[in-house]
């Protein structure tokens, strides 16, 4: 009998196939005491296992490339954390086995983060995956990972760590469903990059029996269990129509009546550029530079290394617009040389622009490198600061850009509600705004962007969030300046129409989403988008807003 479940759709497309569950390592090793003379040997085993797992994660990243590579390299750094390793060795010194020492040390760190309510708790899935891999290696059992299968399937998991998501084979893994996670988690972002339909935050997903036939709609978040022939035909027909529309839609982003909406790509480095170019991106709306800095948490990359990385991206978009976000460190991206180690809540502490203003030499070097990277290239370089709170922040960043001799437009990211509420004030100092809807939702609703339990508050359709977008766009229009969206909200085709109707002037997203957004925008006039935006803002919940916009655009 057909039943319908609903989670959070995070990656477009429809997948129909049988359920296969994620394999897991033995999570808890036995607790037993070892003689004191064996402690040194066990400590050596633990160190070897940690280094082997870190090397495996880096190797997986090299194979995956792109944004996945950066994520996995950051996870390898987590495995090698010196404080965690010191805790493991202390536990072994008082009688724990290597595997038990690792398990207990990670459990302690996990509990500390969760208890403190820190932003890093959003990386618990990554932390658990590292622990499981190290423990599995020490116990000599199979690593956690996707199941072996010769036939395509839909993968079900409690959560998916980046190491699993990065190497999914789209020819075998038709789609995936997780019980936890959120729309802006690492796995969701990587799923969109892979083009694999995905639904997260579905309670009870693990209870779906192995071999059950399900249909996954990554756009709506619906899961159809044992779908009828009619439902399968309906979903397959919709998927075919969507594919045909994608093929037919080419060229710059625009509404059906010719209102231009440049469609840009979010990239993490040169490895992400080919996919962006292939998707027809009109430039880069968010060049995340922090991954260049995460290669070594002890010191900033040299000016020469930065120049090479920036120039590789700038060269790929001649006559195009490339918007670079300066280093956004802190919170879930701590750097030893830049961010405080003892903040009670890093998400609300010294992160983003605040860190850079405390370390002007790091900011100056990055701005100088960007200036030199753009020399002689026919590209429209724009540079923006993360976590701008008010006009004083915007002025400090603009002054730093001028002092570095940067020949580019200076902008501010709107991720803090105060910046949206006072957008006209901020625009007295900078030339454009870019809305980071992921963090803007997090700070608006006090809802950690990685925690599945509060995923409804992370839904970018929340009317309160749309109000803040409208405030920012209206302020930019009044000042004769631009206001783009570079958060994950832009990757939702229907929401892209609403954002256009709110007055947003450009949309930036993962490369895989660009064709979907281009095709959908081309179906509607600007006036239809504006009516849909008004209907969405008049709603009282995210679901009502989505339905209201859909009703307007479908002519109901």
Q: Are 313 and 267 in contact (CB under 8 A)?
A: yes
Q: List the alpha helices (DSSP H) in 65-120.
A: 66-79, 82-93, 98-116
- Give residue for tokens 């509607």: 524
Question: What torsion, rounded to 10 degrees, do the Cα atoms 504, 443, 190, 532 define?
Answer: -30
- Give residue for tokens 């045909």: 244
Cα–Cα distance measured from residue 118 to residue 115, given in angstroms and rounded to the nearest whole number: 8
Q: Are 286 and 511 in contact (CB under 8 A)?
A: no
Tell me which DSSP letter residue 491 carries.
G
Cα–Cα distance measured from residue 318 to residue 326, given in angstroms and rounded to the nearest whole number: 21
Beta strands in 124-249, from DSSP E residues, in sequence order: 153-157, 173-178, 198-200, 213-217, 222-225
Of these residues, 12, 70, 186, 359, which one is catalytic? 186
Q: Are 518 and 433 in contact (CB under 8 A)?
A: no
Q: Which residues, 6+ apart, have CB-to-CB distance to 233 below 8 Å?
A: none
Please, what sign has the CA dihedral across residues 22, 23, 25, 30? positive
> Which helix (DSSP H) or strand (DSSP E) does residue 469 occupy?
helix 463-478
Q: List the alpha helices (DSSP H) in 117-228.
A: 124-139, 162-166, 186-194
Of these residues, 70, 359, 483, 486, which one is catalytic? 486
186 is catalytic: yes
Cα–Cα distance measured from residue 125 to residue 521, given in angstroms and rounded to the nearest whole number: 35
- Give residue for tokens 């830049």: 338
- Give residue for tokens 């020492």: 101
Cα–Cα distance measured from residue 110 to residue 74, given in angstroms and rounded to the nearest whole number: 17
486 is catalytic: yes
Closest CA to 497 of 263, 265, 240: 263
In three-state form (DSSP H/G/I as H, E/B as E, the rest C), the secondary structure along 399-463 is HHHHHCCCCCEEEEEECCHHHHHCHHHHCCCCCEEEECHHHHHHHHHCCCCCCHHHHHHHCCCCH
Cα–Cα distance measured from residue 354 to residue 528, given in angstroms and rounded to the nearest whole number: 40
Q: What residues are annotated to the active site?
A: 186, 486
């Amino acid at each position: 009998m057909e039943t319908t479940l609903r989670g959070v759709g995070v990656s477009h497309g429809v997948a129909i196939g049988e359920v296969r569950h994620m394999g897991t390592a033995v999570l808890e090793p036995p607790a037993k005491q070892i003689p004191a003379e064996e402690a040194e040997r066990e400590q050596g085993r633990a160190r070897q296992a940690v280094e082997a797992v870190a090397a495996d994660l880096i190797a997986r990243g090299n194979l995956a490339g792109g944004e996945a590579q950066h994520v996995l390299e950051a996870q390898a750094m987590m495995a090698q954390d010196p404080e965690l390793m010191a805790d493991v060795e202390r536990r072994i010194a008082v009688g724990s086995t290597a595997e038990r020492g690792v398990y207990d040390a990670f459990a302690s760190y996990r509990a500390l983060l969760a208890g403190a309510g820190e932003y890093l708790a959003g990386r618990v899935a990554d932390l658990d995956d590292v622990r499981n891999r190290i423990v599995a290696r020490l116990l000599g059992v199979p690593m956690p990972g996707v199941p072996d299968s010769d036939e395509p399937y839909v993968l079900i998991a409690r959560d998916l760590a980046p190491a699993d998501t990065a190497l999914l084979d789209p020819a075998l893994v038709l789609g995936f469903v997780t019980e936890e996670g959120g729309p802006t988690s690492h796995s969701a972002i990587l799923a969109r990059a892979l083009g694999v339909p995905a639904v997260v935050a579905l309670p009870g997903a693990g209870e779906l029996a192995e071999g059950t036939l399900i249909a996954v709609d990554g756009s709506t978040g619906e899961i159809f269990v044992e779908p009828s022939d009619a439902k399968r035909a309906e979903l397959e027909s919709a998927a075919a129509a969507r594919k045909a529309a994608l093929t037919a839609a080419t060229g710059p982003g625009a509404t059906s009546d010719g209102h231009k909406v440049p469609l840009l790509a979010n990239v993490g480095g040169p490895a992400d550029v080919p996919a962006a170019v292939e998707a027809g991106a009109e430039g880069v709306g968010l060049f995340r530079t922090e991954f260049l800095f995460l290669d070594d948490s002890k010191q900033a990359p040299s000016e020469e290394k930065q120049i090479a990385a920036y120039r590789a991206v700038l060269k790929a978009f001649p006559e195009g617009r490339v918007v670079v976000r300066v280093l956004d460190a802190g919170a879930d991206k701590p750097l030893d040389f830049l961010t405080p180690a003892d903040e009670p809540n890093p998400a609300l502490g010294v992160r983003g622009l605040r860190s850079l203003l405390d370390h002007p030499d790091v900011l100056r070097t990055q701005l100088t490198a960007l200036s030199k990277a753009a020399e002689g290239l026919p590209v429209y370089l724009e540079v923006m600061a993360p976590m701008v709170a008010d006009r004083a922040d915007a002025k400090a960043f603009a002054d730093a850009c001028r002092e570095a001799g940067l020949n580019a437009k200076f902008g501010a990211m709107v991720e803090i509600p105060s910046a949206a509420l006072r957008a006209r004030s901020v625009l007295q100092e900078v030339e454009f705004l870019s809305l980071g809807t992921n963090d803007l939702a997090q700070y608006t609703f006090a809802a950690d962007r990685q925690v599945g339990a509060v995923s409804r508050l992370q839904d970018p359709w929340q009317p309160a969030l749309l109000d803040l977008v409208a405030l920012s766009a209206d302020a930019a229009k009044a000042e004769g300046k631009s206001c783009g969206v570079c958060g994950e909200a832009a990757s939702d085709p229907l929401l892209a129409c609403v954002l256009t109707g709110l007055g947003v002037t450009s949309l930036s997203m993962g490369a895989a989403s660009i064709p979907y957004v281009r095709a959908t925008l081309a179906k509607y006039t600007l006036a239809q988008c504006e009516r849909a935006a008004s209907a969405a803002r008049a709603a009282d919940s995210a679901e009502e807003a989505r339905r209201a916009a859909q009703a307007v655009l479908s002519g109901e």
